[in-house]
Amino acid sequence: MLIDSHAHLTSDRLLPEIDALLERARAAGVDRIVSVAIHADDAERAIELAQAHPGVHATAGIHPHDARLATEDHLARIRDLLDRPEVVAVGETGLDFHYDNSPRDDQRRSFERHLDLAAETGLPVVVHSRAADEEMEAVLRSRGAEVRGVLHCFSGPEALFEAAIEAEWMVSFTGIVTFRSFGGEGLVRQVPADRYMIETDAPYMAPVPHRGRRNEPAYVAEVARCIAEIREEPVERVAGDSTQNALRFFGIS
Ligand SMILES: [Zn+2]
């Protein structure tokens, strides 16, 4: 059994063929999928999906790209959605200083508020970090111990990895581990067996041999295969460890 710990099933590129896509996922051994939300309306859609499809779980949060939309009203809606039984995590939140789609101060404020929500509810937090390594490391060192969290789509650097491990956070690997340009093999090898998850981040980040095309949860099997190769472990062990970690992290039984 595999778990896709991070996919955007509500995306226009996935939702129209949700039934076929979930069937292909099951055929590939992917029994559970966490559909990660990017704002409150999206979280409501993810909750509807979770209600309609056993094995699908939802999150509620505001993506750093949309942090400029994180008004008090919007955050209050997120807070209410976190009480829904289908919701297993806060997020996706974080810092993206690569695209800077929202002003950095809005991103910082929204991220802090999401950490507050995670601390208040006891839910784990799903964190996106891009081109913000030093600042993310500082946040992990100052607030990481307050909450349980995951750095999703993780590829380094080492200092951020160390801060995450020290805070007892998880890291999660996508299809970029299969790219020739991936430079994080050392981290994949050294991450403790109880500190990592795997994900697709579908519809983005399709692993080799699907690279450049639309990604979907079935392909998390390729991520597992690649991690097994890098760690020199049987793929069954990677599947077992990453599944146990995701069940524990999200509190799914
Ligand atoms: Zn995402």
Residue 93 clears pLDDT 90, i.e. is over it: yes
Task: Report CA(184)–ligand 1 centroid distance (Å).
Answer: 19
Q: Is the pLDDT of residue 104 over 90?
A: yes
* Alpha carbon of 97 to ligand 1 centroid (Å): 15
Instruction: Encode pLDDT of 18-73 as tens digits.
Output: 999 999 999 999 999 999 999 999 999 999 999 999 999 999 999 999 999 999 99
Q: Which residue is associated with the tokens 């890291």?
A: 171
Separation in Å, CA 25 to CA 1, 41, 122, 204, 224: 11, 25, 29, 16, 14
User: Are 5 and 246 within 8 A, CB to CB?
Assistant: yes
Q: Does residue 253 have a pLDDT over 90?
A: no
70 CA distance to ligand 1 middle (Å): 17
Classify the C-alpha dihedral 233-236-239-243 as positive or negative.
negative
Task: Give the distance (Å) from ligand 1 centre to CA of residue 6.
Answer: 6
Environment of ion ligand 1 (residues, CB < 5 A): 92
End-to-end CA, the chain:
14
In degrees and rounded to multiples of 5, residue 89 shows phi and psi of -165, 160
Is residue 240 within 8 A of residue 44, CB to CB? The reply is no
Question: Residue 36 C-alpha to ligand 1 middle, in angstroms?
Answer: 6
pTM score above 0.85:
yes
Amino acid occupying residue 155: S
Q: How far is the CA of 253 from the centre of ligand 1 (A)?
A: 23
- d(CA 199, CA 205) in angstroms, rounded, equals 10
| Tens-place pLDDT, residues 171-185 | 999 999 999 999 999
Cα(118) to ligand 1 centroid in Å equals 18
Q: What percent of the chain has pLDDT over 90?
A: 99
